[in-house]
Amino acid sequence: MKNKRILVTGGAGYIGSHTVVELYNAGYEPVIVDNLSNSSLDVLDGIRRITGKDPIFRQEDCADYVAMERVFNEFPEISLVIHFAAYKAVGESVQKPLDYYSNNLDSLVNVLRILSQKGGAVVFSSSCTVYGQPDDAYLPVSEDAPLKKAESPYGNTKQICEEIIADSVKAETGKLKAISLRYFNPVGAHPSAHIGELPRGVPQNLLPFITQTAAGLRGELKVFGDDYNTPDGSCIRDYIYVCDLAKAHVVAADRLLGNDDVRDDFEVFNLGTGEGLSVLEVIDMFQSANGVEVPFSIAPRRSGDVEKVWADPSKANQLLGWKADTPFEDVMKSAWKWEKKIRGI
């Protein structure tokens, strides 16, 4: 019988909390570790309301090796970690590169160091930023596309982390396994509106800025650039529903723990819908789905932004048996439902 206990670092965060819900739904027993630097204890109540389970939570910093040892000593049965814990804002990483390198690398190294000692596996939260700005010949982006120089320190930490994982797995052959999930752009909220994306301060991602503007918290949305080489001049991304994304982590965990048909100790999968939407298209679709206005204006390009990127998710579709198939209109409705709830609208 496979081990049901899974450690989820950053499990009180946006993607982490939705993954914890899906782990419970799949019969796993997640242990959440989070330092609450970009999340809130209120998330635990949301998980509780959705699942009927009382989440196991430890407030620890994954960049603190002693703290992580303490968690593993308390739960020695843990052999798989889903590692979300990281700083994640592209723009902020350009301004604070040392914070990003220190936090994002140290937290992963600590997890791998402990796992390599006892044996185990990790599902790593990676990003499409590892591809930089792909040449048009590589769009949509498959896992075989070359990794280009990252456009931001955040993206570079994801590239370096994947290299660290590959080297560690190679050094610990037969003792350490890993799957890296390269996300495209997660959006939306749980349909219950008990959990969702709640950034601290000014949002760094598009959809929370859209919902906060629609809710009247912000006067207008800034669209960073309308002179890109795209049909409407705004950046193009592959927007994936967070609940679909969360389910992919459960499938990855199943694959690592089952070990039935896994040939490589380190596998990489793109997680996206396979379709690109521009910033202006997303604004229009949000307005149409929810019947609300989102005032916006065009601002200069933002440092670190990639012009256009969307996924070829066929490898994940075929080998993991996973697909992001939630209609985008439903995703937009879930985001607005969450925003209205937390603002009391």
Query: Is 154 one of the annotated active-site residues of the chain?
Result: yes
Cβ–Cβ < 8 Å for 85, 34: yes
Locate all alpha helices (DSSP H) within the chain, ordered by sequence: 14-25, 42-51, 65-74, 90-95, 97-118, 153-171, 206-214, 242-258, 279-290, 314-315, 328-343
Torsion of Cα atoms, 332 then 338 then 339 then 343, to 10°: 160
Give all strands of the β-sheet with 5-9 in edge-to-edge order.
56-58, 29-33, 5-9, 80-83, 120-127, 176-183, 266-271
The residue count of the chain comes to: 345
Active-site entry in 100, 154, 183, 239: 154
Cβ–Cβ < 8 Å for 138, 98: no
Burial 217-237 (b: 16+ CB within 10 A, else e): ebeebebbbbebebeeebbbb
Residues marked active site are found at 154
